[in-house]
Amino acid sequence: MKAVEEIGKNLRAQGNPEKAKLVARYFKTGKGEYGEGDKFLGLTVPQQRAIAKKYRDLPLKDIEKLLHDKIHEYRLTTLFILSDQFKKADEKKQKTYYDFYLANTKYINNWDLIDLSARDIVGGYLINKPKERKILYVLARSKSLWERRIAILATSAFFRKNDFRDTLAIAELLLHDEQDLIHKAVGWMLREVGKRDQKTLIAYLDKHHKTMPRTMLRYAIERFSKATRRAYLGRP
């Protein structure tokens, strides 16, 4: 408990109330918005990473307590600690962290929390376990916006092996998702596929570009030439 209190004290001491107001608007915390009710102290990511580094050996029970806190920076700092512990753990311990992460998706409930942790923990665990990746398809079909985003972001870990199958399959599952945050995430991952294998991206786009949400398509074709982007956006 002492470490939990110290982390909270350090985070609050470095908070910036004016920045917190701006960040709260940026992360859409108003009524009816995707981040409704989220609370911010106004810290930067580097500040949180520095604090996480000091407490990299925090026990899992304390990690859980901080992850369940209503303050956004408590949760993000905790995920930095969890990611660091995961990377240094043996396979058995990694399974513990992976299971913990999936059991606590309710609290990993904004896009930055996911973007800075899902690849390393969920994707990192599954990278050498293709038979266990069915969980990603369960998440992709979830009613939770955040679980769907975890599903597509986690697949970016597989890019290390030039393995794009799950990214493309999940992108297809999410093709008609109603949420803009999913459109952006899928488009981003497709663009990353294209950076490594443009032919694979083009084949996917030639099949789906006519029905893709505009934002998803714009993200996916961002690295193409102006003429090629115009052709896809024209949807002939």
CATH number at residue 24: 1.25.10.90
Q: What are phi and psi of 39, to 5 degrees?
A: -115, 140
pLDDT, tens digit, for every residue of 134-144? 999 999 999 99
Q: Looking at the structure, do residues 111 and 139 belong to the same domain, yes or no? A: no
125 lies in some domain: no
What's the whole-number mean pLDDT along residues 174-192?
Answer: 97
Where is the domain boundary, 88, 116, 144?
Answer: 116
Number of separate domains in the chain: 2
- The range of the structural domain enclosing residue 56 comes to 1-116
Give the whole-angstrom CA distance, residue 97 versus residue 87.
Answer: 10
121 lies in some domain: no
Confidence (pTM): 0.95
- Inform me whether the pLDDT recorded for 83 exceeds 90: yes
Q: Looking at the structure, do residues 108 and 184 belong to the same domain, yes or no? A: no
Kindly report the average pLDDT of the chain as a whole number.
96
- Give the number of other Cβ atoms within 10 Å of residue 221's Cβ: 24
122 lies in some domain: no
Where is the domain boundary, 89, 116, 143?
Answer: 116
Indicate left, alpha or beta for 162 from its phi (over 0: left) and psi (-120 to 50: alpha).
left
Q: Looking at the structure, do residues 143 and 110 belong to the same domain, yes or no? A: no
Nearest to 181 by CA among 135, 207, 150: 150
DSSP the chain: -HHHHHHHHHHHHT--HHHHHHHHHHTT-STTSTTTT-B-----HHHHHHHHHHTTT--HHHHHHHHTSSBHHHHHHHHHHHHHHHHHS-HHHHHHHHHHHHHTGGG--SHHHHHTTHIIIIIHHHTT-GGGTHHHHHHHT-S-HHHHHHHHHHGGGGGGGT--HHHHHHHHHTTT-S-HHHHHHHHHHHHHHHHH-HHHHHHHHHHHTTTS-HHHHHHHTTTS-HHHHHHHHH--
Give the whole-angstrom CA distance, residue 159 versus residue 198.
Answer: 13
32 lies in some domain: yes
What's the whole-number mean pLDDT along residues 209-230?
Answer: 96
Give the whole-angstrom CA distance, residue 225 versus residue 231.
Answer: 10
126 lies in some domain: no
Q: Looking at the structure, do residues 35 and 65 belong to the same domain, yes or no? A: yes
Structure tokens at 163: 């393995």
Confidence of residue 1 (pLDDT cuts 50, 70, 90): low
Q: Looking at the structure, do residues 1 and 110 belong to the same domain, yes or no? A: yes
pLDDT, tens digit, for every residue of 100-129? 999 999 999 999 999 999 999 999 999 999
